[in-house]
Chain A
Amino acid sequence: MVRIAVLFIIALPNLIDYEQEGSTIDLIIDARGLSCPMPIVKVKKGIDSLQTGQVVELVTTDKGSVNDVQAWAKRAGHEILAIDEQEGEYRFRIRKG
């Protein structure tokens, strides 16, 4: 019981941060623990299901994804709204172009 409560408190500030930033996220792709090429394979599949202008958030732990996601988005015509690194996790917010 105690453990669950602690986890919840740790998770909470993250959620609040997102709401404060105000941008709507239409889809979250969790690619943590996956290595190249899977983060991009997954986010590409995800973004294909969205409408132009909608936003996907991708979470990865693969360092190589930082450059690759940017290069891919540029080529595919999507806009990177934010990249954030925290304790080995990379969060990308990408608007479909």
Chain B
Amino acid sequence: MAKLMTVEEMAKKVLHDKLFILDVRNDEEYKKWKIEGKQVESLNIPYFDLIDGVEHLLEKLPRDNRDILVVCAQEGSSRFVAEKLSEAGMDHVYYLQGGMKTWSKFYHSELVAADENLKLFQINRLAKGCLSYMLISEGEALVLDPGRKTDVYVDLAQKEGVVIRHIVDTHVHADHISGGPELAGKTGGTYYLPSSDVQDGTVLFEPLENHPQITMGKVVVEVLAIPTPGHTPGSTSLLVNKKYLLSGDTIFVGGLGRPDLGGKVKEWAQMLYETVFTTIADIPDDIYVLPGHYSTVAEINDQHIVGDYLGDIRQRNEIMRTQNRKAFTETVEASDSSEKPPNFDKIVLINRGLETVTPEKATELEIGPNRCAVHHSTPEPD
């Protein structure tokens, strides 16, 4: 009998262990978006090639002690194939509970830092490469860039015995629907957004630019809001205790945020240049950057955290050292011709409060990778 594997169990394996994935979705969907991990090997054979039998597949599957996890969009087809593999005598065969749809909604929390003043969690939505954060001090919490599944933050706050007071979006997101307004409603916390990203939107928020510093707890956790426009005109980074730069979609471990998702790529590319060579240039190398996204698992470090020192990021990413304005802007503008985040225009409208959708529709819109970085313009070879 093939066994069920939950997304929680799979997440552990994706982060810590070896896993063989047989993805039975059609090849188009697989190419666009798949499960990745440093020790994950995956093979795509659509389920409709396996209806008559799996014999021709057996030789392609590992015979070591790795678990074989069959994955599809929801669950049905993976179960169908996993049962056939079991019947054909394969051991360690599992199918993924709820399929890619459930995986896309799974969040994993990792503790980044803990001292007497501050506890900092990175909450990783592994399937999309979306990162959010919870900062805790003296019984109070600030949540940054929360995803749509707000229970994750409510549950974490409860577990930590803290009250969520502040909810901040670094910018209006184009790749995922913000959980900010809902989380504010649930907790009574204040929801902050940079005004210049919202304009004619109807979402209720406190202008982030009016708060050069947000204090929290009895101990003052210094949260400086630094305008870092480029990805969007209002994009803001938070500098915490002069130690951590929560950089939103401006700087990633693997490079810069793309400036083309607002239809004003030339203008925003200039803003990004100013940000990199004025605002960011003043920030020292030993500041630890914690971004809003990652695009490959190579950006996850050995502590299972996506983050790096600003100096190392500058060192690795040539674009951050390209002082020639023309060369810089031409490179980042090139992202305009690359594939955009799925449904980005509609997601922006929802995040500005100009459109509402059912939870089912929201799940569907968000399916897929984030595609928020400049380097998506030069896809890595498969």
Contacts of A75 in B (CB 8 A): 46, 48-49
Q: Mark B72-102, 1 if CB is under 8 A from A, else 0.
A: 1110110010000000000000000000000
| Residue from the list A36, A67, A71 in contact with B74, Cβ < 8 A | A36
Query: Once the chains bind, are B73 and A44 in contact (CB under 8 Å)?
Result: no
Query: Once the chains bind, are A67 and B46 in contact (CB under 8 Å)?
Result: no
| Residue from the list A37, A67, A71, A76 in contact with B77, Cβ < 8 A | A37
Tell me the dominant secondary structure on chain B's binding face.
helix
For A71, the closest partner residue in chain B by CB is B26
A68 to B26, CA, bound (A): 6
CB distance from B24 to the nearest CB of A (A): 8
CB distance from B83 to the nearest CB of A (A): 11
A3 to B26, CA, bound (A): 43
Query: Once the chains bind, are A71 and B76 in contact (CB under 8 Å)?
Result: no
Query: Once the chains bind, are A71 and B46 in contact (CB under 8 Å)?
Result: yes
Query: Once the chains bind, are B29 and A67 in contact (CB under 8 Å)?
Result: yes
Query: Once the chains bind, are A37 and B47 in contact (CB under 8 Å)?
Result: yes
Known: A41-B51, A75-B46. A36 touches B73 (CB 8 A): yes
Query: Once the chains bind, are B76 and A68 in contact (CB under 8 Å)?
Result: no
Known: A67-B28, A71-B26. A35 touches B76 (CB 8 A): yes
Query: Once the chains bind, are A40 and B51 in contact (CB under 8 Å)?
Result: yes
Known: A37-B51, A71-B26, A71-B27. A64 touches B73 (CB 8 A): yes
Contacts of A76 in B (CB 8 A): 48
Q: Mark B24-59, 1 if CB is under 8 A from A, else 0.
A: 001111000000000000000011110100000000
| Residue from the list A37, A67, A71 in contact with B80, Cβ < 8 A | A37
For A70, the closest partner residue in chain B by CB is B26
For B47, the closest partner residue in chain A by CB is A37
| Residue from the list B27, B28, B49, B77 in contact with A36, Cβ < 8 A | B77
Question: Contact residues of A with B, CB < 8 Å?
Answer: 35-38, 40-41, 44, 64, 67-68, 71-72, 75-76
Question: Contact residues of B with A, CB < 8 Å?
Answer: 26-29, 46-49, 51, 72-74, 76-77, 80
